[in-house]
Structure 1
């Protein structure tokens, strides 16, 4: 028997993802071993992959409503734009919900890198197709294609877990939200500033092609970024799945020792879904639904003509507003979230973020009524800024809910430093039973998120259109409905704990 080989080198299908950090100290991170240096090159590539999705997903938001109007999909009735805009925005998440789990499971068998390459290639093909589409169904097929082919979100989380360990996983996962924040800023700016280039730069884009395909340029720009990401990933990204060492007779006893040592590691996903965790996930679903509904309503409201209840803004202006919102959100989360969490606690912070939905939705009719009376004046721009700041406050609920999820994880194998940088990604990763289940676990989580986000856009924008067509409350019926929905869903947050869940030893006798 080979006794010289350390058990850490033996990685089998039953090896837990995160080993007990408490074995290195007292469970609070005191005396823990020095953090392993992050593989910066590999994480940089994952960051590029993380940028590609929000850039391609959000670049269409500033111009999608104008595109639908110009394609004569609505028969000249601009009140119907909401129906079609919501369908196009929702179809991506609907198709992602159907396919993301299969992609994640496939990555467990063929490797992470091939799946990531297919995903980013799908982004490229979809955006080129979208920019060249001249019919509603062409737009639908293009957005469906990217949802079908793109399973990268769950796979990236799996790979992040595999290139980090318990000493640096919090630092690695902290990079993923940064990529989304940057992408959510850049994407709308690309979509708004590059739409209809023949109008903005007639000397450069004088060819009839640019008039016929007025929205191809922003789609092509985001597609080029996806192509660049594909090349970098293909050349430099290292596969992680095949690195798991195979067992041989000389390591059997060592593997058995490792298995015994980690029997109390993270449990399978079915054991993670306790009542406490289900409550947290329910709260996460609530805020995700209200958030995506707002994100679909905002560009529709901004683009709708003033007489119909909007502000009548152009795609470049809408792009700046959406991009500014992403920038403010990223800065605020990075600079103030941790301090606010320490001061008020996760439950109160989550509830305060949820309460922000009430004035967030109420500002829509207020701005519309003022614009009808006075036009788009500095008062309107001040109200737009207030609304975007409220959106930043609302987004605290995501971080707070994620923090609760981390603390409620049945397996407490993360150091305090990991908890303090905790997010739902780390919780999902730590809940996976073993390395081979990691992709499937992240796939389930992404599936649930995609289902919720598939419902929100089409529901909110369709309510917007129905309110205008049937003159519900003067065309503003959608907003009281959304406020009422937030009011009905708010009590779900009451089930969250006032204080963080006690340590595992203190709760063994109180399992659900």
Structure 2
């Protein structure tokens, strides 16, 4: 077919002939020059993060929970022993695991529903956060004043059921920090708070637990505060004081959210917030400023102080045209895209092998060493490291102490260059190496303390370095897979429920495998199985859509 020689409808022949030949080139040169002269975006730093005040409130809200939860690790064993002094240590260890599983099971059941509630305009993000913090405070008080195992189970289930805050906080971070180039650092703030809680929580609760004996010169018999008989309620409830401290911190965080955090729900963010108005008034009072709070509100159409003639017809049409149209809500079935399913699956696998490793790791540390004469190296051996409780606490603190410098210094340098998925792909194998090396630590001589701690620290560096990059990346992958902003909280809630189910299965299966390995001279087997699960976790990442590459 012969191509027509006549010009298209948008440009006549005369206009084509009248156009200078060099016009396109000069226009392209001008465009290139204007692009070249534009200033390059400044590098992302911690100081350049937008909305630092809102992020600070979110950080404090997140810090309240690990402070409360991790404080249990210092005294829960002794509290369970106090419930029934006749129980052997093996039975107390089972109760400890069941209490942990109860918390995870409650979160598994309710996390998705809290995500629904946060996405609903009836509650929104802020109200769900407040329910979680006040619920955690009530549960902490109940746990501290419990005198039986059944009450302890009830309050552990209650705190898991009422607390969907991590779901909402992840959603709010993505809504407060909209620009993606800032999100890698913003999402890192949440695991950083967890590491701070890992360090501070156990130390604080260990100092406050059983104060009649741990601080006898202050609260015990004959002390200034306790008098002749000591503080009676502390003697009756020896583990109430650390829980009271946790409850106070949780309530303070809730008040800070009421006064200082903006609602980020798309349908509620522009509505009046009495709590924020009061917070701004308090700030003005302390600053000594009498200027009114600047807030823009819609002028009522029937305002008598506004003459109708003052509005031109054209202005009204422009205003109506500028108003955003109400978008229909996205149905729940739209959530199950391939990318969402893969992102949730990687979240499940990660939570599975991480939680199982934690159970195996903190069980191997105190397990006594076995006689090496029964070993059949390099695969058949058994036993643990034989560390004391103080050394186990030091190992727990070491994890937090390694993590914070990595998160502050190393992560910002590499995460922006690699992106979320590539960071995940590059650093997850470090966890696999740590899983494979850990069982061989039981072969080290117990009397060579320097060698044991050097080797243990090396494994922990590999593990913590991996999680420093993987944890924020998995949050961002889940956040990016949401098919609609109206389903963002629901996706995070579903992700949290799936991760909670993995945290039920991981410690249960990991503990059972470790028990079998210890009994059959094959202690490395459960850790090698975890390595296989982690490799599957890595393979799933290859199929997940990479938003950084798309952009």
Distance verdict in 2 for CA 1:80–1:104, change over 3 Å: same
* Corresponding residue number in structure 1 for 2:408: 334
Q: Does the Cα contact within 8 Å between 1:94 and 1:451 map onto a contact in 2? A: yes
Distance verdict in 2 for CA 1:48–1:448, change over 3 Å: same
Q: Does the Cα contact within 8 Å between 1:94 and 1:147 map onto a contact in 2? A: yes
* Corresponding residue number in structure 2 for 1:97: 108
TM-score by length of structure 2 reads 0.67
| Correspondent of 2:193 among 179, 201, 207 | 179
Q: Does the Cα contact within 8 Å between 1:105 and 1:443 map onto a contact in 2? A: yes
| Aligned mates of 2:39, 2:361 — CA distance in 1 | 47
| Correspondent of 2:464 among 392, 407, 410 | 392
| Aligned mates of 1:137, 1:126 — CA distance in 2 | 14
Q: Does the Cα contact within 8 Å between 1:52 and 1:225 map onto a contact in 2? A: yes
Write out aligned runs for 1:292-441 (5 A).
292-302=355-365, 311=386, 313-314=388-389, 318-337=392-411, 346-363=424-441, 365-366=442-443, 370-371=445-446, 374=447, 377-396=449-468, 398-399=470-471, 423-441=473-491
Aligned length: 438
* Corresponding residue number in structure 2 for 1:217: 241
TM-score by length of structure 1 reads 0.72
Q: Does the Cα contact within 8 Å between 2:480 and 2:547 map onto a contact in 1? A: no
Distance verdict in 2 for CA 1:79–1:37, change over 3 Å: closer
* Corresponding residue number in structure 2 for 1:239: 263
Q: Deviations over 1:91-143 (max 9, x none)?
A: 21210111122122212222222211111111211222222223222221121
Q: Secondary structure at the match of 2:219?
A: coil
| Correspondent of 1:164 among 173, 177, 181 | 177
Q: Secondary structure at the match of 2:57?
A: helix
| Aligned mates of 2:172, 2:410 — CA distance in 1 | 29
* Corresponding residue number in structure 2 for 1:14: none
| Aligned mates of 1:290, 1:449 — CA distance in 2 | 11
| Aligned mates of 1:61, 1:463 — CA distance in 2 | 23
* Corresponding residue number in structure 1 for 2:12: none
Structure 1 residue 86: Cα displacement = 1.4
Structure of greater Rg: 2
Q: Does the Cα contact within 8 Å between 2:359 and 2:511 map onto a contact in 1? A: yes
| Aligned mates of 1:226, 1:158 — CA distance in 2 | 20
Distance verdict in 2 for CA 1:132–1:258, change over 3 Å: closer
Structure 1 residue 272: Cα displacement = 7.3
Q: Does the Cα contact within 8 Å between 2:353 and 2:534 map onto a contact in 1? A: no
Q: Over aligned residues, Cα RMSD in angstroms?
A: 4.2
Q: Does the Cα contact within 8 Å between 2:343 and 2:478 map onto a contact in 1? A: no
Gaps of 5+ in 2: 1-33, 221-229, 272-297, 302-315, 371-382
| Correspondent of 1:456 among 486, 506, 530 | 506
Q: Does the Cα contact within 8 Å between 1:292 and 1:456 map onto a contact in 2? A: yes
Q: Bigger shift: 484-493 or 130-139?
A: 484-493
Is the aligned partner of 1:473 residue 2:520?
Answer: yes
Q: Does the Cα contact within 8 Å between 2:110 and 2:161 map onto a contact in 1? A: yes
Q: Does the Cα contact within 8 Å between 2:478 and 2:491 map onto a contact in 1? A: yes
| Aligned mates of 1:39, 1:353 — CA distance in 2 | 34
* Corresponding residue number in structure 2 for 1:152: 165
| Aligned mates of 2:490, 2:536 — CA distance in 1 | 31
Q: Does the Cα contact within 8 Å between 1:189 and 1:320 map onto a contact in 2? A: no
Q: Deviations over 1:38-83 (max 9, x none)?
A: 222222111111101211222212333343344338x533233332
Structure 1 residue 463: Cα displacement = 5.0
Structure 1 residue 258: Cα displacement = 11
Q: Does the Cα contact within 8 Å between 2:510 and 2:526 map onto a contact in 1? A: no
Structure 1 residue 252: Cα displacement = 5.5
Gaps of 5+ in 1: 1-24, 403-422, 507-512
Distance verdict in 2 for CA 1:252–1:267, change over 3 Å: farther
